[in-house]
């Protein structure tokens, strides 16, 4: 469908210590040797979307790590449901029976992967006990939802850390762990990236002390036309040197949260969650797709991935424009 010889704008970050976009060059995307299966992760709206992507393409996605999000299809194509039962209302109670019935119907109709395709997945869930944006009981509902598909030993739910709404890291210099503030990355002495990758992938090597791969800018509108009007013009791909040189590598997709795309937080999310350092030592390619904020239709003023229906009623199925678009990005990387 797409050719890897397509010219792309890229940034080569030798030490990853200077400004991310300091020097842009034109290059060609390396021919990548990617494993057939992949894993996903995401925070907040990115967590909701990561779970949607998992259910839609479970034949290919064999691991999902979801931070600070609730059950798939929680909003039921209704913004008021999203705000009421899927976030921070004190009485928030996701309607799991109705939600799961909808998902079962979509699975039976071939609009989601069959439930049997989820059985060999690994899932890692995280909910900070001090999260006031997506309340712990909402994330607990996601855990309950996954229990119907995922074997107990493959499903892990971390809910005993007193963290606010953010991506917790062991890196210094970010938000205090009890605060939920831009860029929604926090210094918690907690390595969420290492925790989630070790659960999804099994034994992993310690991270590099400093990321040293390439960060490539992808032309998303060209590679992913299914949602060109909703995605930012550019997404990002982190490629370790070994993967760029032809080694067999695995693909991991990381979905940012609301108010966390490059236009709003710069390179914070695509540089500082800790994923890139693990990518260098574990032969992982990290895809960072970017959705754009919009004050006009489709209304998305905070730059959130669609988990409530602003892109259309089929947002949580394989017919959802954003799910289709990210799948197109994956297909482009495999060419």
DSSP symbols for 46-99: HHHHHHHHHHHTTTTEEEEEEES---TTTTTT-HHHHHHHSSS-TT----HHHH
131 is catalytic: yes
> What is the rounded distance in angstroms from the CA atom of residue 169 to the CA atom of residue 151?
28
Q: What is the pLDDT of residues 257-314, one digit of tens each?
A: 999 999 999 999 999 999 999 999 999 999 999 999 999 989 999 999 999 999 999 9
Given the structure tokens 């495999």, which residue do they identify?
334
Checking if the pLDDT of 11 tops 50, the result is no
Q: Which residue has the higher pLDDT, 172 or 20?
A: 172
- pLDDT single digits (tens) 188-223: 999 999 999 999 999 999 999 999 999 999 999 999
Q: Would you say 291 and 322 are in contact if contact means Cβ atoms under 8 Å apart? A: yes
Structure tokens at 86: 């899927």
Q: Is the pLDDT of residue 322 over 90?
A: yes
Give the closest residue to 16 by CA, choosing from 251, 232, 280, 287: 280
Task: Tell me the average pLDDT across 158-184.
Answer: 97
272 is catalytic: no
Give percent of the chain with pLDDT exceeding 70. 91
Determine the average pLDDT of the residues in 31-38. 96
Looking at the predicted structure, is the pLDDT value of residue 16 above 60? no
Specify the DSSP class assigned to residue 239: E
Lowest mean pLDDT among 12-21, 130-139, 291-300: 12-21
Which residue in 255, 236, 228, 215 sits closest to 328, CA to CA? 228
Selecting among 44, 121, 127, 311, the annotated active-site residue is 44
Q: Look up 44 and say whether it is catalytic.
A: yes
Using CA atoms of 235, 241, 247, 249 in order, give the dihedral in degrees to the nearest 10. Answer: -40
Q: Which of 10, 139, 165, 306 is catalytic?
A: 165
Catalytic residue among 131, 261, 267, 306: 131
pLDDT at 28: 64
CB 135 within 8 A of CB 88: yes
> What are the structure tokens assigned to 327, written together?
């799948």
**Domain coordinates of the chain in residue numbers?**
7-334
Q: Is the pTM of this model over 0.85?
A: yes
For 75, list phi and psi in degrees, rounded to 5.
Answer: -75, -20
Percentage of residues in the chain with pLDDT exceeding 90?
90
């Amino acid at each position: 469908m797409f050719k890897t010889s397509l010219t792309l704008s890229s940034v080569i970050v030798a030490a990853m210590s200077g400004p991310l976009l300091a020097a842009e060059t034109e290059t060609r995307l390396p021919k990548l040797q990617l494993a057939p299966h992949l894993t996903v992760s995401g925070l907040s709206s990115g967590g909701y979307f990561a779970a949607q992507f998992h259910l839609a393409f479970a034949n290919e996605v064999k691991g999902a790590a979801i931070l600070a999000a609730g059950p798939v299809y929680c909003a039921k194509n209704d913004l008021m449901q999203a705000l009421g039962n899927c976030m921070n209302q004190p009485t928030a109670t996701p309607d799991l029976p109705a939600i799961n019935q909808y998902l079962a119907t979509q699975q039976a109709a071939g609009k989601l992967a069959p439930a049997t395709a989820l059985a060999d997945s690994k899932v890692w869930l995280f909910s900070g006990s001090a999260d006031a944006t997506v309340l712990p009981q909402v994330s607990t509902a996601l855990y309950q939802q996954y229990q119907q598909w995922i074997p107990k030993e493959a499903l892990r739910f971390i809910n005993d850390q007193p963290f606010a709404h953010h991506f917790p890291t062991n890196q210094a210099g970010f938000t205090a762990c009890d605060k939920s503030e831009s860029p929604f990355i926090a210094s918690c002495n907690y390595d969420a990236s290492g925790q989630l990758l070790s659960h999804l992938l099994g034994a992993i090597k310690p991270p590099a002390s400093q990321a040293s791969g390439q960060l490539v800018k992808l032309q998303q509108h060209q590679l992913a036309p299914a949602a060109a009007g909703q995605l930012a013009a550019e997404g990002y791909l982190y490629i370790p040197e070994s993967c760029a040189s032809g080694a067999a590598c695995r693909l991991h997709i990381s979905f940012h949260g609301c108010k966390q795309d490059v236009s709003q937080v710069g390179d914070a999310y695509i540089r500082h969650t800790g994923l890139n350092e693990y990518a260098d030592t574990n032969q992982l390619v990290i895809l960072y797709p970017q959705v754009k904020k919009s004050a006009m239709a489709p209304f998305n003023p905070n730059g959130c991935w669609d988990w409530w229906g602003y892109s259309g009623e089929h947002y949580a199925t394989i017919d959802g424009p954003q799910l289709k678009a990210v799948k197109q990005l994956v297909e482009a990387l495999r060419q």
